[in-house]
Structure 1
Amino acid sequence: MPNVRPLTLALAFSLVTVLSTNDAQAARKKPAARAPAVSAACTDFYETTNGNWLKANPVPQTGAVSALGTLADNARTQQRQLLDRAMTAPQGNVQKLLGDFWASGLDEAAVEADGSKPIAPLLTRINAIKKAKDIPASIAALHQVGIPVAFNFAPDVDLKALDRHIGYFMQGGTGLTDPAFYTRTDADTVALMGRYRAYVKQILALTGTPAAQLDAESALVVQLETELARSAHSVADINNPFNNYAPVSTKDLNSRYRNLQLDAFLKAQGVNDDLVSLADPALFQQLNSMVTRLPANQWKAYLRWRVGDSMAPYLSKAYRDAEFEFRGRVLRGQTIAPSRPEAVLDAINVAAGPMLGHEYANTYLNRDTRRQAGIMVDQIREAQIAAVKRSTWLSAEAKTEAEAKLAAMKIEIGTPLRDLDYTVQPMGRGSFGGNMLIASTWRHAQEMKRIGKGNADRRWDVLPQQPSIAYDIAQNRLIVTAAALQGPIFAGNASNAEKFGAFGGLVAHEVSRAIDVKGAMIDAKGELRSWWTPADKSAWTLLGNRVATQYSAYPFPGVKDAKVNGELTRDENMADISGMEIAFEAFSTAQADAKPADKQDFFKGWAGLWAQQLSPNEAVQRLRTDVRAPGRWRSNAPLSNLPAFGASFSCKPGQPMQRTDAEQIKIWR
């Protein structure tokens, strides 16, 4: 329901999406008395470390299973358990609110009896529209409750002042997010649009359109959305943050778009800033004309459809079934609808995620774990600074800026250091749909409060209850969520060496992003400028070319005769290699007396993260689109470039897990 952030500046490494597959090798049987020519660890460390896991988790028929996926599943189980306890024995007001929210969602009989009642006030307002002048206020009112119609409006970083957010007016308001669906004429798209029109009719019927008018009103809705789509940019274009940035004075909005009443829109959202970004004036000029050019009845049908579609997952079974049949089966490829508890948990995370995150961290993250993680992060950062100082390819001026940026990096572990209010308005155990609107209205208001000076570092773009370690490039901060601080990343019973290999490796991966080719776009003061010299850029490109070539030689597990796409995965692969270099250096400094077994545990900690199994279809999809290498190579490739790994397991240069010195890629060592 809330708007998605329009820009793509934040480089987030979401652990729950890092999946791979097993590439089981067909090993020939050898006489039992003969030892293998090369030890198992020096042949395939991924298989050696994860063999038992791979046997216990066969290739699935659909989707993927992984060690990190299990972590994500465990975090969801923890959230459900927390909500169950809050429902029966709440500890404090926040848990009481959450428990009531949870109870209202689980009460299917009450949800069914509620029918369309939760959205009745919204529909009544829409049905009261008489003239064109009534339309802008209805648009603003729906945005207030977290249902964006006609266009999108959301906060994001001001590219000329990264310490603040401004509001971005952008294209949106259509039921299909890709504008191309509305204009393509190929057979598949035509068939999809047929299914879409049928879904629009279902929702219109549920929101009050008489049967005799369904064909006409659904056609009006699709016609309005098609007009928006024809003026919209491609998904690729709007994913470029610089294409979306065009600051204008809020004082000029009314004179340009008088019919849309954008000044009144901003006031309704609680926004009083002097600037907004509006990068597509032609689209908003068209919208401005559509307000008066299109009949009021067409706008009413469109607005009712958008309300019903947005709220469908939270209403009665007729709504939920219609939404799942189109969005679940057709668009997302799901075969089975999520269970009621899973669906309600998703809803709570959408509407009141920060509120649940606050309680999650209080419940599942202890102070000692947070302290240990913080110490390790600081050790990783110091190792990265030391590596920058001795770099042979980075220029002197770039070294100075890199050191300053790393020193200035903010570290936030568990929950946001600064946050806006996380407590939603009081809710009860009555209407789940009503509670969703209350929570969504609160969440939208909190998002609007991010707009203005000094608010840019408030709130994360990931929730504390979602496993993630991420580098926020715009704010130069490292984010470690509460849910990430458990096994297999930071298991309580793991040795310090294992934690350095797993958690430290992931942290070092992200810290390196502050000073890589994208990190070099923003300096230590948070200003958008390139601080690398041409020679620095050339050196990085040469390193990247070698990495791409190396990974392109690896077979892609699960896809016959396919190789890893080294170009697509280049940046992440470089960060993995950097991460292992820096994490091992930090470990060696922190534990100077480490025994051989400790060093082996370090590498096992890293390899254990990447145990993965992909279904055949998932493997093909990942080959084409995933910017990360399969788990086998995330495990093995960085280690094969690291002499310390070979020394720990007595691997000889030229063996699969130990490249020769000439072949090894060295980024920061």
Structure 2
Amino acid sequence: MKRLLVSAAVAALVMPAAAMAQTAAHDHACIDSECEMVSLFETPMAKAANGGWQGTESPRYGTWGFDLSGRDTSVRPGENFFFHANGAAFEQLVIPSDRTSYGSFPLLRELSDNRMKELVLGLAARTDLVAGSDEQKIADAYRSYIDEARIEALDAQPLAPYLANIRAIDSHEAMATYMGAHNGDFGAAFFGAFVSADAKNPTRHVVSTGHSGIGLPNRDYYLDERFTEKKEKYQAYVADMLTQIGWDNPVETAAQIVDLENRIAQAHWTPAENRNRDRTYNEYTIQSLAAEAPGFDWQGFYNAAGLGHADRIIVRQDTAMPKMAAIYAEADLDVLKAWQAFHTADQMAPLLSQRFADLRWAFRDRDLQGQPEQRTREKRAISFAEGALGEAAGRLYVAQYFPPEYKAQMEELVANLRLAQAERIQNLTWMGDETKAAALDKLNKFTVKIGYPDKWRDYSALEIRGDDLVGNAIRMRQWSYADRVSRLDKPVDKTEWGMTPQTVNAYYNSVNNEIVFPAAILQPPFFDPNGDAAVNYGGIGGVIGHEIGHGFDDQGSKSDGDGVLRDWWTPEDRANFVALTTRLGEQYAQFEPVAGYKINPNLTMGENIGDASGVAVGLHAYRLSLKGQEAPVIDGLTGEQRFFYGWAQVWQSKYREQALIQQVATDPHSAAQFRVIGPLRNVDEWYSAFDVQPTDKYYLAPEDRVRLW
């Protein structure tokens, strides 16, 4: 319900979906005088095929960083480079029954989970931990989740106080106050309020507000007839959850709740509109917002949320607010109370007895995403403990799994990527000198964070008990929310991280003008400290270039080197950029990951630009790393061929069809197959490296190739 709390200023790498596998072809890899046969059944994907990645050791891809036996050489590179590079690995890949996808990203996420399991279980087994220490809190968070007997005995008791308070609400004003009071807790709201860096004054914090109120992934699930069956299953789920909590007339009430959310969805902005950083920065006071969007007690809401003293509110979807407030004012209070009760139970269900956890899993994971089996309680307990004290767990992770030399190698890679980006900016033919100077200034001001934060988060004020699972979750949420509220009008701490070190991802944050690479992504297939440089530049180099590219994509380019949201382009250069990105969008609009579900380039544009930048800048940086020397030939492959294989390998991923459909409908990242194909078909060197011909499916004539950064 509070999805809007993710800042639009942050663009993450996030692994999206992939397509199905094709026919396999088995190869072996040799390097120099050393040769090692690599059986298909010893490759990372094959080893993970029957139940996921086991153990805590990083995967190994071939002998020099790329799994040659994972290719399908019966597929011409120009016909489908994704399958050419990955097809045989996909033939062996089986998605574990408790997952909706598998591949390079999920494998590393599972590796990270395995490592956290070892760390957490090790703590839980100790009797010498200092009371109140981070280690003790991690252990107690795990114990609280794994204590199934206590959870079953409590059943719905932890939910009862919430339901009693909801039943006691006697007016729309009281409901608005309740929403605000639970803004950092379990509960639903038409609007969310959060504290974040001010996009036009990035050194200070400000209150932002956006629309919320729906329980399906986004507005399309209510309004697009392709999702009619999902909406019907959702209504049945609402009725079942209301039945479980003893709410009156659950079937009739569920229909009223879904009808209410259908009207809310009609007022919501589209996912593509929500990306636009110009449109989502609208300055109000609480009083001016109340005047423009009457029907909702804004002052009561913000007061209860601890934000009533704010002198400025940044409203994300300004044109939606009057519509949403009117819907709220017109809604029957009993329906609002039932809607609040359902969403509170829905959010708390994973922490309650099995009847609640199973019900939620059956809809949200099985019906929406096609996941056949629920994750075991132990796996969920590890995730809960790790999430409770993310950086404290990350500190333990880094000490054991991230040696200092990895960070040093990454710093060298980043330096070459920045130099490559600078040279490419200087040589752009579509951009004038004035805008180039501003772009170079922004690049020079990039902050790079690698591995882990220099200063760890302080969890001393967070209470965690070994016998109070729901209480722990409530205190975690309230502690985190109170921390955010306390920052209002205070300086932004630029040293903070938005991801933990054990997260397999990376991101660009426009208000800080920073690129961030957590420790857990800095391993094969992204980064192999003992691997071939070409593969590393195609993998993690492409990722670095991707995140740098976000600083210059269709939205990131609206902020300057200091993170300030302003237009630093000349009108002519911006027009040239829009013309190029429009052409790129037209290419992606033709891609269809699932029959009937094409990529929406207006939603995925920023990530598509990031991928295009990642490949172009990564290849340029690889050449710089050679320092004028010829690239070695390994197993008959040139440096450029190995670079492109490295890029393709990191996007190995297979999704269940329903999860892929949801990804296409909601995710700003294109499906994995087209994260490979989309950027490469616009790179001249790819054509020469693999002899791509005009007769090949994904061939583009030179004049049709989009060359951005």
Same fold (TM over 0.5): yes
- Paired residue for 2:285? 249
Aligned equivalent of 1:203, options 233, 237, 241: 241
- Paired residue for 1:153? 193
1:426-505 correspondence to structure 2 within 5 Å: 426-455=463-492, 457=494, 460-505=497-542
Alignment of 1:11 onto 2:11: yes
CA RMSD of aligned residues (A): 4.8
1:107-506 correspondence to structure 2 within 5 Å: 107-129=147-169, 134-176=174-216, 178=218, 189=228, 195-196=233-234, 198-209=236-247, 240-250=276-286, 260=297, 262=299, 265-266=302-303, 268-269=305-306, 272-278=309-315, 279=318, 280=320, 282-283=322-323, 286=326, 289=329, 300-348=337-385, 352-416=389-453, 421-422=458-459, 425-455=462-492, 457=494, 460-506=497-543
Aligned partner of residue 450 in structure 2, secondary structure: strand
Amino acid at match of 2:284: V
Amino acid at match of 2:4: V
| Equivalent residues, number | 649
- Paired residue for 1:33? none
Query: How much does 1:97 deviate?
Result: 0.8
Query: How much does 1:396 deviate?
Result: 0.4
CA, structure 1 residues 250+636, in 2 after alignment: closer, same or farther (shift >3 Å)?
A: closer
Structure 2 alignment gaps of length 5 or more: 27-72
- Paired residue for 2:70? none
Amino acid at match of 1:425: L
Amino acid at match of 2:364: R
**Aligned mates of 1:303, 1:43 — CA distance in 2:** 51
- Paired residue for 2:616? 581
Kindly indicate whether the alpha-carbon contact (under 8 Å) linking 2:17 and 2:663 is maintained by their aligned counterparts in 1.
Answer: no
Kindly indicate whether the alpha-carbon contact (under 8 Å) linking 1:556 and 1:623 is maintained by their aligned counterparts in 2.
Answer: no
Between 87-96 and 467-476, the greater mean CA deviation after superposition? 87-96
Kindly indicate whether the alpha-carbon contact (under 8 Å) linking 2:24 and 2:87 is maintained by their aligned counterparts in 1.
Answer: no
**Aligned mates of 1:653, 1:294 — CA distance in 2:** 64
Amino acid at match of 2:480: R
Deviations 1:301-336 (A, max 9, x none): 444333222211210122223323333344444433
Between 471-480 and 633-642, the greater mean CA deviation after superposition? 633-642
- Paired residue for 2:646? 605
Between 381-390 and 139-148, the greater mean CA deviation after superposition? 139-148
Between 618-627 and 307-316, the greater mean CA deviation after superposition? 618-627
TM-score (ref. length: structure 1): 0.79
**Aligned mates of 2:653, 2:332 — CA distance in 1:** 53
Amino acid at match of 2:192: N
Deviations 1:405-429 (A, max 9, x none): 0001111222356776455622122
Structure 1 alignment gaps of length 5 or more: 28-36
Alignment of 1:72 onto 2:113: no
- Paired residue for 2:559? 522
Deviations 1:423-479 (A, max 9, x none): 562212212222211212222223334543423757555443321122223332112
**Aligned mates of 1:535, 1:20 — CA distance in 2:** 39
**Aligned mates of 1:303, 1:621 — CA distance in 2:** 25
Amino acid at match of 1:608: Q
**Aligned mates of 1:494, 1:430 — CA distance in 2:** 47
Aligned partner of residue 582 in structure 1, secondary structure: helix
Kindly indicate whether the alpha-carbon contact (under 8 Å) linking 1:401 and 1:531 is maintained by their aligned counterparts in 2.
Answer: yes
Aligned partner of residue 371 in structure 1, secondary structure: helix
**Aligned mates of 1:2, 1:534 — CA distance in 2:** 37
Amino acid at match of 1:439: M
Give the number of the structure whose alpha-carbon radius of gyration is greater.
1
CA, structure 1 residues 288+620, in 2 after alignment: closer, same or farther (shift >3 Å)?
A: closer
**Aligned mates of 2:280, 2:681 — CA distance in 1:** 42
CA, structure 1 residues 533+199, in 2 after alignment: closer, same or farther (shift >3 Å)?
A: same
**Aligned mates of 1:215, 1:654 — CA distance in 2:** 59
Kindly indicate whether the alpha-carbon contact (under 8 Å) linking 2:20 and 2:90 is maintained by their aligned counterparts in 1.
Answer: no
Query: How much does 1:101 deviate?
Result: 0.9
Amino acid at match of 1:85: G
Identity %: 24
- Paired residue for 2:544? 507
- Paired residue for 2:122? 85
Alignment of 1:57 onto 2:93: yes
Query: How much does 1:108 deviate?
Result: 1.6
Aligned partner of residue 162 in structure 2, secondary structure: helix
Kindly indicate whether the alpha-carbon contact (under 8 Å) linking 1:636 and 1:657 is maintained by their aligned counterparts in 2.
Answer: no
**Aligned mates of 1:130, 1:660 — CA distance in 2:** 64
Kindly indicate whether the alpha-carbon contact (under 8 Å) linking 1:168 and 1:276 is maintained by their aligned counterparts in 2.
Answer: yes
Amino acid at match of 1:591: L
**Aligned mates of 2:643, 2:142 — CA distance in 1:** 41
CA, structure 1 residues 130+666, in 2 after alignment: closer, same or farther (shift >3 Å)?
A: closer
1:556-571 correspondence to structure 2 within 5 Å: none
**Aligned mates of 1:559, 1:228 — CA distance in 2:** 29
Deviations 1:247-298 (A, max 9, x none): 22246678997983625743653674321234355357548857xx955x66
Aligned partner of residue 193 in structure 2, secondary structure: strand
Kindly indicate whether the alpha-carbon contact (under 8 Å) linking 1:355 and 1:423 is maintained by their aligned counterparts in 2.
Answer: no
Query: How much does 1:404 deviate?
Result: 0.1
